[in-house]
């Protein structure tokens, strides 16, 4: 097989009994049970094999050798007297004639036990990631990632897409997140930027006459970490199609993803085409989220007209949302924890009442609701034994808080959540514009590259004051699976006249468009085809497939929550000579 081994540690079976073999791997454990008798467990990438030492010479060869040293073992395969049915190699063992240390572990104590590394502090795991990855459970996630990426490539090629790589060093572009900047040595005072996404390049490929493009694209964004987002660097299945619309994109991914999820996922059931299409406003009203988990059968109901003037202060002049759920026979302590968890996640309070088995309103805010009991029962379609969670505030706040409440109730009520499956949906018709939280002015909601529903005419009407810009929707769509947003995509705005009109609504003129997107603008003036695309996140896909809750578990060498690589010591200081060469002066350094 290789110079150092004839077989792997996961390969030997009863048919190999009597053969002389050479194995190589890490010393996982050694247990001495008598004079010149010891059991050694050798582990490599493929599995483990038991080695039985029965001579003084062989025992001397491993005396003082620390765990996790790399060994080569040559010996004879024999059938085990005491078989281990839990191991693929549990029917055999190897009796060595030679043991050689190939790489000595010089540490008597490891930072953590290899097979229990996931129990260790995350900072230790990331600092010693090369040891963490020796844990078969951790390694298996990376293997899964490789298998999924390979399957995605094959599926996209089968759909007629060409894999084309796009530049890593490019120009800074206003795409919604902070850029990572790279100083130029040859051009003092000027900077490259690492791409937040290959957005402009893939659109330029469409303008260049390529028909179907994809790549497993690295993207770089200076963002804070979350459970489903890694700071700094991530990868996405980036794709774009010429002479295509929204439905063309949907059809491709509906063919590509379900087989991969069904084959490699923790669950073997995945949505089949066509996925549900839910307008953004409907998703917010029905599920309280633009990334609803459709495995949960609970919905959000509006109770504003019934409860806004019931006498309970937080409901006064507010939008009130209700989440009814049957079968939630929780104690007061459990309900209080539920409400506290919602408040921690959203910053908003949740309220509740219950329709008991006798048909009476009890608990929580029920004393304010007695006079409208029958209306509530009718409007919310309540049956005895129903728990009702409530949220209140401005419309979007009440909706989002209800969405969190719905998700938590679904997790607490197994009869309302079919957890063992992958449920996809498309969220469509996103607003083109929104009021920025910081600026208080009109801004693009998703990105500036999307085609508005209604095209140039709707934009001109908005500019003339005939249409509220906030009512304009775009051909923008999100792919959602089990409550996780896998990607955003859009039918692109390929017409420079429409592009300029769209930007004018956010106070940017034609010269601004030319300055911010010079290549894209000028390419479109030469006649660009209609095109559309999307970019599902590879890391998020693998996280869902593996059943992990943190995206860092499926990335080979992730950064921590503070965007630090504890293993390599990045970011780190550089020499003054390097700074001088790049024409950079550090004016202030932060104390570690």
Residues 103-140: tens digit of each pLDDT? 999 999 999 999 999 999 999 999 999 999 999 999 99
Question: Are residues 153 and 71 both part of a single domain?
Answer: no
In 3D space, the residue among 68, 86, 84 whose CA is nearest the CA of residue 28 turns out to be 68
**Is residue 440's pLDDT more than 70?**
yes
Q: Is residue 277 part of a domain?
A: no
3-state DSSP assignment of residue 135: coil
What pLDDT was estimated at residue 113?
97
Q: Is residue 278 part of a domain?
A: no
Q: Which domain holds residue 223?
A: 137-266+538-579
3-state DSSP assignment of residue 151: helix
**Is residue 591's pLDDT more than 60?**
no
Question: Are residues 176 and 82 both part of a single domain?
Answer: no
Q: Is residue 7 part of a domain?
A: no
Q: Which residue blocks in 159-245 are alpha helix, DSSP H?
A: 199-207
For residues 369 and 360, the answer to whether their CB atoms sit within 8 Å is: no
Of 439 and 214, the structure prediction assigns the larger pLDDT to: 214
Pick the last residue of a domain from 103, 128, 151: 103
Cα–Cα distance for residue pair 273/270, rounded to 1 Å: 10
Under the banding of pLDDT at 50, 70 and 90, the label for residue 2 is: low
Mean of all residue pLDDT scores within the chain: 94
Cα–Cα distance for residue pair 558/538, rounded to 1 Å: 14
Question: Are residues 413 and 438 both part of a single domain?
Answer: no
DSSP at 87: S
Q: How far is CA 209 from CA 243, 522, 523, 524, in A?
A: 10, 15, 11, 12
Question: Are residues 302 and 377 both part of a single domain?
Answer: yes
**Is residue 590's pLDDT more than 80?**
no
Question: Are residues 557 and 519 both part of a single domain?
Answer: no
Cα–Cα distance for residue pair 188/243, rounded to 1 Å: 42
What pLDDT was estimated at residue 437?
79
Cis bond upstream, residue 452 (ω within 30): no
Q: Looking at 204-218, 273-287, 497-511, which range is the least confident one?
A: 497-511
Q: Is residue 193 part of a domain?
A: yes
Q: Is residue 449 part of a domain?
A: yes
Q: Can you tell me the mean pLDDT for 143-168? A: 98
Question: Are residues 262 and 349 both part of a single domain?
Answer: no
The alpha-carbon radius of gyration of the chain (Å, integer) is 30
**Is residue 233's pLDDT more than 80?**
yes
Cα–Cα distance for residue pair 537/226, rounded to 1 Å: 14
Q: Is residue 413 part of a domain?
A: yes
Question: Are residues 175 and 256 both part of a single domain?
Answer: yes
Question: Are residues 328 and 258 both part of a single domain?
Answer: no
* CATH code of residue 153: 3.30.930.10
**Is residue 459's pLDDT more than 60?**
yes
Q: Is residue 260 part of a domain?
A: yes
Pick the last residue of a domain from 49, 83, 103: 103
The first and second tokens of residue 204, run together, are: 């330029």
Q: Can you tell me the mean pLDDT for 432-457? A: 89
How many alpha carbons fall within 13 Å on the CB side of residue 320?
Answer: 22
* CATH code of residue 314: 3.30.1360.30
Question: Are residues 142 and 258 both part of a single domain?
Answer: yes
Under the banding of pLDDT at 50, 70 and 90, the label for residue 175 is: low
How many domains does the chain fold into?
A: 4
Q: pLDDT for 340-368, tens place per residue?
A: 999 999 999 999 999 999 999 999 999 99
Question: Are residues 80 and 35 both part of a single domain?
Answer: yes
Q: Can you tell me the mean pLDDT for 11-16? A: 97
Q: Can you tell me the mean pLDDT for 484-510? A: 93
Under the banding of pLDDT at 50, 70 and 90, the label for residue 1 is: low
* CATH code of residue 47: 2.40.50.140
What pLDDT was estimated at residue 176?
65
3-state DSSP assignment of residue 326: strand
Q: pLDDT for 386-419, tens place per residue?
A: 999 999 999 999 999 999 999 999 999 999 999 9
Q: Strands 162-163 and 212-221: what pairing?
A: parallel
Q: Residue 269: is it exposed, middle or buried by C-beta count within 10 angstroms (0-12/13-18/19+)?
A: middle
The first and second tokens of residue 400, run together, are: 């989002």
Q: Looking at 225-234, 340-349, 458-467, which range is the least confident one?
A: 225-234
Question: Are residues 143 and 261 both part of a single domain?
Answer: yes
Q: Is residue 115 part of a domain?
A: no
DSSP string, 249-292: HHHHHHHHHHHHHHHHSSSS-B--SSPEEEEHHHHHHHHSSSS-
Q: Can you tell me the mean pLDDT for 32-60? A: 94
In Å, the largest CA–CA distance within the chain is 94
What pLDDT was estimated at residue 31?
94
Portion of the chain with pLDDT greater than 90, in percent:
89
The first and second tokens of residue 555, run together, are: 């990335």
Q: Can you tell me the mean pLDDT for 582-587? A: 90
Portion of the chain with pLDDT greater than 70, in percent:
98
Question: Are residues 523 and 562 both part of a single domain?
Answer: no
What pLDDT was estimated at residue 504?
93
In 3D space, the residue among 190, 235, 186, 234 whose CA is nearest the CA of residue 214 turns out to be 235
């Amino acid at each position: 097989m290789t110079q150092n081994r004839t077989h792997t540690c996961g390969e030997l079976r009863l048919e190999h009994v009597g053969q002389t073999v050479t194995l190589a791997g890490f010393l996982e454990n050694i247990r001495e049970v008598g004079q010149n008798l010891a059991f050694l467990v050798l582990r490599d990438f493929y599995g483990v094999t038991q080695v039985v030492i029965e001579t003084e010479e062989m025992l001397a060869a491993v005396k003082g050798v620390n765990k996790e040293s790399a060994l080569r073992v040559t010996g004879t395969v024999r059938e085990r007297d005491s078989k281990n049915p839990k191991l693929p190699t549990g029917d055999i063992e190897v009796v060595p004639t030679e043991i050689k240390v190939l790489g000595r572990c010089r540490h008597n104590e490891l930072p953590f036990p290899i097979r229990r590394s996931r129990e260790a502090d995350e900072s230790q795991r990331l600092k010693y990631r090369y040891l963490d990855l020796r844990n078969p459970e951790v390694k298996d996630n990376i293997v899964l990632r490789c298998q999924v990426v390979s399957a995605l490539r094959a599926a996209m090629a089968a759909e007629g897409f060409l894999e084309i790589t796009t530049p890593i060093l490019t120009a800074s572009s206003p795409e919604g997140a902070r850029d990572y900047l790279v100083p130029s040595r040859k051009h003092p005072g000027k900077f490259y930027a690492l791409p937040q996404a290959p957005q402009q390049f893939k659109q330029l490929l469409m303008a260049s006459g390529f028909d179907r493009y994809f790549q497993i694209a690295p993207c770089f964004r200076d963002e804070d970490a979350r459970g489903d987002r890694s700071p700094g660097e991530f990868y996405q299945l980036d794709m774009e199609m010429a002479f295509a619309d929204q439905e063309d994109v949907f059809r491709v991914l509906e063919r590509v993803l379900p087989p991969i999820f069904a084959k490699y996922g923790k669950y073997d059931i995945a949505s089949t085409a066509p996925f549900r299409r839910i307008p953004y406003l409907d998703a917010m009203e029905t599920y309280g989220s633009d990334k609803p988990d459709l495995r949960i059968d609970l919905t959000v109901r509006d109770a504003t007209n019934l409860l806004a003037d019931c006498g309970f202060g937080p409901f006064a002049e507010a939008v009130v949302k209700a989440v009814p759920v049957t079968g939630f026979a929780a104690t007061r302590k459990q309900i209080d924890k539920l409400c506290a968890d919602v408040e921690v996640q959203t910053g908003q309070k949740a309220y509740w009442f219950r329709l008991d088995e006798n048909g009476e309103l009890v608990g929580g805010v029920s004393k304010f609701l007695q006079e409208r009991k029958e209306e509530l029962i009718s409007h919310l379609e309540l049956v005895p034994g129903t728990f009702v969670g409530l949220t209140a505030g401005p419309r979007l706040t009440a909706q989002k808080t209800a969405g969190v409440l719905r998700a938590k109730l679904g997790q607490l009520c197994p009869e309302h959540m079919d957890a063992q499956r992958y449920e996809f949906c498309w969220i469509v018709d996103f607003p083109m514009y929104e009021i920025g939280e910081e600026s208080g002015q009109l801004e693009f909601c998703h990105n500036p590259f999307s085609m508005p529903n209604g095209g140039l005419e709707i934009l001109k009407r908005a500019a003339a004051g005939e249409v509220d810009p906030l009512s304009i929707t775009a051909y923008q769509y999100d792919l959602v699976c089990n409550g996780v947003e896998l990607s955003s995509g859009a039918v692109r705005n390929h017409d420079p006249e429409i592009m300029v009109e769209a930007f004018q609504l956010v106070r940017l003129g034609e010269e601004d468009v030319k300055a911010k997107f010079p290549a894209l603008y000028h390419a479109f003036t030469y006649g660009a085809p209609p095109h559309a695309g999307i970019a599902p996140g590879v890391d998020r896909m693998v996280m869902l497939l593996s059943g992990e809750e943190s995206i860092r578990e499926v990335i080979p060498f992730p950064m921590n929550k503070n965007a630090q690589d504890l293993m390599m010591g990045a970011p780190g200081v550089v020499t003054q000579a390097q700074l001088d060469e790049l024409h950079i002066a550090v004016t202030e350094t932060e104390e570690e």
